């Protein structure tokens, strides 16, 4: 795999054809894992020849990197959208948990990709920027929520950035322990509830039910 020399391109600025390939690539990765991703598979999934994949994304690494970024930004946007309407600071945590834990299949797809990204980022320098992007998106969102919650009252937190980091660790860790389970489909609600309860503890939310 050749080394990418330039920054990963913005997926939203790609031609429609390239974006379709990106979606095919994402589908193949969720099905097989990024390590078993082959250009031929992506081409087959998209119903085109392998040459075309390389025509739009010069190398496999570039395709992979761009797919990561695409999935990351799409997921981040979706979560933001989901919690945009919620104003009550007491409910915003619940809304976030609802937004993140949508359903077992999609959570599994995304977090398996995310785990792959971490593994790659730790070994291959060019993946570092995508991984940093992930941290920016995720921690930024969490920190924003926490600051808001503190300002409106209801959250007992000293350092929002630190709390956001802890929050991220808890949520990502919940998925990490959930992913390899054989009963991942059935246990999804249980892990969701556990994560919710732990998060409330972590953020010092008053746990007496609202009257």
Per CB under 7 A, residues contacting DNA are: 1-2, 15, 17, 36-40, 48-52, 54-56, 58-61
Calpha distance 58→42 (Å, rounded)? 14
Q: Which does 187 bind (CB under 5 to 8 A by kind): a second copy, DNA, none?
A: none
Judge residue 76's burial from the number of C-beta atoms within 10 Å of its C-beta, 0-12 exposed, 13-18 middle, 19 or more buried.
middle
Residue identified by tokens 């994402």 is 26
Stretch that binds a second copy, among 52-60, 64-72, 81-89, 118-126 (CB under 8 A): 118-126
Interhelix angle 89-100/184-202, nearest 10 degrees: 150
**Least separation, in Å, of the C-beta of 154 and DNA?**
50
Q: Tokens representing 130?
A: 């995508």
- Say whether residue 133 binds a second copy (CB under 8 A): no
User: Residue 52 or 115: which CB sits closer to a second copy?
Assistant: 115
Instruction: By CB under 8 A, name the one of 14, 137, 202, 205 that touches a second copy.
Output: 202
**Least separation, in Å, of the C-beta of 135 and DNA?**
27
Instruction: By CB under 8 A, name the one of 116, 126, 145, 149 that touches a second copy.
Output: 116
Q: What count of residues does the chain have?
A: 211
Give the closest residue to 160 by CA, choosing from 101, 196, 123, 203.
203
Q: Which does 185 bind (CB under 5 to 8 A by kind): DNA, a second copy, none?
A: none
């Amino acid at each position: 795999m050749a080394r990418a020399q330039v920054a990963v391109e913005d997926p939203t600025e790609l031609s429609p054809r390239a974006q379709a390939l990106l979606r095919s690539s994402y589908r193949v990765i969720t099905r097989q894992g990024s390590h078993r991703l082959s250009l031929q598979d992506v081409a087959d999934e998209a119903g085109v020849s392998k040459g075309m994949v390389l025509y739009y994304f010069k190398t496999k690494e570039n395709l992979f990197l761009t797919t990561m970024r695409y999935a990351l930004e799409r997921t981040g946007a979706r979560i933001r959208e989901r919690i945009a309407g919620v104003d009550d600071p007491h409910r915003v945590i619940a809304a976030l948990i609802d937004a993140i834990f949508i359903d077992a299949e999609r959570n599994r797809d995304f977090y398996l990709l995310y785990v792959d990204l971490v593994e790659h980022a730790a070994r291959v320098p060019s993946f570092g920027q995508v991984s940093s992007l992930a941290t920016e998106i995720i921690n930024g969102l969490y920190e924003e929520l926490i600051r808001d919650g503190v300002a409106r009252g209801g959250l007992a937190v000293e350092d929002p950035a630190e709390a956001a980091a802890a929050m991220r660790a808890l949520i990502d860790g919940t998925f990490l322990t959930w992913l390899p389970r054989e009963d991942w489909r059935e246990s999804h609600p249980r892990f969701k509830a556990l994560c919710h309860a732990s998060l409330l503890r972590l953020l010092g939310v008053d746990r007496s039910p609202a009257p």
